């Protein structure tokens, strides 16, 4: 459903993408927005330049690539207080009427705004925020996730952070977008060791064993079937813990290539590692979200950047991820239901 009655100021909209035949692609619209914001928004241009000069190290964990980025501009996100009380007390920085005056957007299919991320990890890096202040909950917007990945095409990846494991705005529905293959797991999927597989209604799925964590990978050409399976998987994750009405903990990457969706879902059991809460120099300010689970570790302090090693990263993954046996049990149940 397209929302018409909202409070989005006309001057906020740089361009619009409706999905109608013959209009410029969403990727083109995003590229135009990115170039315009670099030219017209000084603070964003400076942040982008700082990100482009960020230090980067490559680590290897059991044959898998891990990238460590030193990006002090991300300190606000990395240290954000996301408990319910703190979130209620602060203004929402994704609501249209609270965006910076220089920020503009591509209005996406009526209900969402594509925005350049003012503190980027990638070039380019976009946030796709709902025009209304709705809570972060993927099950309400699975269809949008899939059509967004399809509309963006081969050059981009969509990612999602759950409200309790990486989203710095858990009170406002949003996705993020980065360049395709910027996250190591995308390129390394062909090396994956899948320990349990299944197939349902044209959706292939399996459990991918990665250093310190597991990913549920699903692929298919039928959007409705992929959406149904993803919803069932999220429901199964929720039934395995005391989540109440809250969304279970997970991060997700989604792509659409050559007519086929591919999704990587990382089940989680906690938001931040214990080291995050230590005092002084013993603290490690790493807040794993979809980017980190996919293999790009963002550090906001030089000391943390220098301290990161492959074993330490794997230790953090193991601490914040749902245990592999628990994920395998869920996949086994889903696989049995396919009649295999």
| Strand locations in 85-133 (E) | 105-108, 112-116, 126-130
Number of neighbours of residue 126 by Cβ within 10 angstroms: 24
Nearest in space to 129 (alpha carbons), one of 290, 12, 295, 232: 12
CA dist., res. 305 & res. 67, Å (int): 11
Residue 247's pLDDT is 95
Residue 44's pLDDT is 97
Q: How far is CA 310 from CA 58, 59, 263, in A?
A: 9, 6, 25
- By CB neighbour count within 10 A (0-12 exposed, 13-18 middle, 19+ buried), where does 309 fall? middle
Residue 126 pLDDT > 90, yes or no? yes
Residue 1's pLDDT is 35
CA dist., res. 164 & res. 255, Å (int): 23
Output the DSSP codes for 257-324: ETTEEEEEEEEBS-SS-GGGGS-GGG-------HHHHTTEEEESSHHHHHH--HHHHHHHHHHHBPPH
> For residue 4, what pLDDT band results from cuts at 50, 70 and 90?
very low
Residue 82's pLDDT is 76
Residue 238's pLDDT is 87
Residue 2's pLDDT is 40
Fold of the CATH domain 10-336: HIT family, subunit A (3.30.428)
CA atoms within 13 A on the CB side of 3: 13
Structural domain boundaries of the chain? Answer: 10-336
> For residue 244, what pLDDT band results from cuts at 50, 70 and 90?
low
pLDDT tens digits, 302-326: 999 999 999 999 999 999 999 988 9
pLDDT tens digits, 257-294: 999 999 999 999 999 999 999 988 889 999 999 999 99
pLDDT tens digits, 190-203: 766 677 778 888 89
CA dist., res. 167 & res. 160, Å (int): 8
């Amino acid at each position: 459903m397209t929302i018409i009655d909202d409070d989005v100021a006309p001057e906020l909209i740089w361009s619009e993408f409706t999905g109608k035949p013959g209009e410029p692609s969403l990727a083109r619209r995003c590229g135009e927005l990115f170039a315009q914001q670099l030219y017209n928004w000084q603070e964003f241009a400076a942040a982008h330049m700082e990100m482009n000069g960020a230090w980067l190290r490559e680590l290897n964990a059991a044959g898998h690539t891990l990238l460590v980025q030193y990006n002090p501009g991300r300190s606000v996100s990395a240290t954000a207080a996301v408990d319910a009380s703190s979130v209620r007390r602060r203004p929402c920085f994704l609501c249209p009427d609270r965006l910076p005056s220089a920020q503009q957007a591509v209005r996406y299919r009526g209900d969402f705004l594509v925005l350049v991320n003012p503190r980027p990890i990638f070039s380019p890096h976009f946030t796709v925020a709902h025009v209304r202040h709705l809570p972060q909950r993927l099950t309400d917007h699975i269809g949008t996730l899939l059509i967004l990945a399809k509309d963006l095409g081969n050059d981009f990846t969509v990612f999602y952070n759950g409200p309790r494991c990486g989203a710095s705005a858990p009170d406002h529905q949003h996705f993020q977008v980065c360049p395709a293959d910027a996250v190591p797991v995308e390129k390394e999927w062909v090396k994956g060791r899948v320990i349990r597989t299944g197939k349902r209604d044209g959706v292939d799925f399996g459990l991918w064993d990665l250093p310190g964590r597991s990913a549920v990978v699903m692929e298919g050409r039928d959007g409705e079937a992929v959406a149904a399976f993803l919803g069932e998987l999220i429901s199964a994750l929720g039934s395995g813990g005391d989540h109440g009405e809250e969304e279970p903990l997970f991060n997700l990457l989604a792509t659409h290539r050559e007519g086929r969706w591919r999704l990587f879902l990382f089940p989680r059991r906690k938001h931040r590692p214990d080291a995050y809460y230590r005092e002084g120099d013993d603290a490690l300010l790493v807040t794993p979200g979809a980017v980190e689970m996919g293999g790009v570790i963002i550090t906001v302090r030089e000391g943390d950047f220098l301290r990161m090693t492959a074993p330490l990263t794997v230790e953090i993954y193991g601490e914040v991820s749902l245990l592999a046996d628990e994920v395998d049990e869920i996949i086994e149940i889903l696989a049995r239901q396919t009649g295999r």
